[in-house]
């Protein structure tokens, strides 16, 4: 076996490249000191972070009893999806929380699809089909705005990486550029202009999202929807027989 090259001593087992190390000594920082040096970001996100990306906890839907009425089972599932969306509200007011806003979009999509799945049942067997249909429209709007924001958050970094490659001289980063014609200045300027346009469009979508969310809060939209679901679960909203087909 070849001898280990001289230089930095091997890291103790359990540290590796992911251990938090001191900038001065290169030694490991105790866990309590390392935690104290991390910047605070407000409330915790209802998920786990892996590789810089927030991953949903994947909360399982509550067990549905086959003996329960259809509308009661629907109300339980919809209530779970509402809770999953509102868990991310604390991050909505921070424009730079890219991963959390993306997870909020996924939560809105899950709520929308669950509402759409049970809409025919609420229309046929209750008098609240109109409320569920309106909820679908509102959640769909939120999902689409969050989607536009996420598209911009993905596109601009990709454009920046492409621009970085264009600014690298032929032969690699260590090569020294010669002359002026190796660099496509017009193409670089075009990418910067596109980045600015995408950023400004994202800002408009984000401002519209905050305005719409505040209006929903003023209308107690989610509270009224949750109240309707509680009426279904408690039997206060009596189901009705579907209208006879012509």
Q: Is the pLDDT of residue 168 over 80?
A: yes
Using the Cα atoms of residue 201, residue 207, residue 213 and residue 215 in order, give the sign of their dihedral: negative
Contacts of 97 (CB under 8 A, 6+ apart): 41, 91
Higher pLDDT, 144 or 7: 144
Q: Which residue carries 């251990």 as its tokens?
A: 19
Q: Is the pLDDT of residue 4 over 90?
A: no
Tens digits of residue pLDDT in 181-231: 888 999 999 999 999 999 999 999 999 999 999 999 999 999 999 999 999
210 burial type by CB count under 10 A (0-12 exposed, 13-18 middle, 19+ buried): middle
When pLDDT is cut at 50, 70 and 90, the band that residue 167 belongs to is confident
Return the percentage of the chain with pLDDT > 90, whole number. Answer: 57
**Within 10 Å of residue 135's Cβ, how many Cβ atoms?**
22
When pLDDT is cut at 50, 70 and 90, the band that residue 86 belongs to is very high
When pLDDT is cut at 50, 70 and 90, the band that residue 16 belongs to is very low
Name 49's bridge partners: 54
Q: Range with the lowest mean pLDDT among 8-12, 68-72, 186-190, 223-227?
A: 8-12
The pLDDT of residue 234: 86
The pLDDT of residue 63: 61
CA distance 127 to 237: 9
When pLDDT is cut at 50, 70 and 90, the band that residue 42 belongs to is very low
The pLDDT of residue 199: 97
Region 154-175: what's the mean pLDDT? 85
Tens digits of residue pLDDT in 94-124: 999 999 999 999 999 999 999 999 999 999 9
The pLDDT of residue 178: 74
Region 157-163: what's the mean pLDDT? 94
| pTM for the model | 0.71
């Amino acid at each position: 076996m070849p001898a280990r090259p001289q230089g930095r001593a091997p890291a103790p087992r359990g540290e590796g490249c992911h251990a938090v190390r001191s900038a001065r000594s290169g030694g490991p920082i105790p866990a309590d000191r390392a935690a104290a040096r991390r910047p605070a970001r407000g409330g915790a996100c209802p998920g786990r972070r892996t590789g810089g990306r927030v991953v949903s906890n994947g909360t399982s839907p509550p067990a549905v009893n086959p003996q329960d009425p259809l509308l009661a089972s629907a109300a339980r599932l919809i209530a779970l999806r509402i809770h999953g969306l509102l868990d991310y509200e604390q991050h909505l007011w921070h424009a730079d929380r890219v991963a959390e806003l993306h997870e909020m979009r996924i939560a809105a999509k899950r709520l929308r699809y669950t509402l759409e799945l049970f809409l025919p049942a609420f229309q046929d067997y209750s008098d609240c089909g109109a409320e569920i249909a309106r909820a679908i429209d509102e959640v769909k709007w939120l999902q689409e705005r969050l989607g536009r924001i996420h598209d911009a958050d993905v596109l601009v970094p990709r454009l920046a990486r492409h621009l970085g490659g264009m600014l690298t001289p032929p032969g690699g980063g260590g090569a020294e550029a010669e002359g002026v014609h190796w660099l496509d200045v017009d193409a670089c300027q075009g990418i910067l202009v596109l980045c600015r346009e995408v950023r400004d469009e994202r800002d408009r979508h984000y401002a519209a999202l905050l305005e719409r969310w505040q209006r929903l809060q003023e209308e107690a939209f989610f509270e009224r929807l949750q109240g309707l679901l509680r009426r279904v679960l408690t039997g206060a909203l009596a189901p009705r027989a579907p209208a006879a087909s012509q």
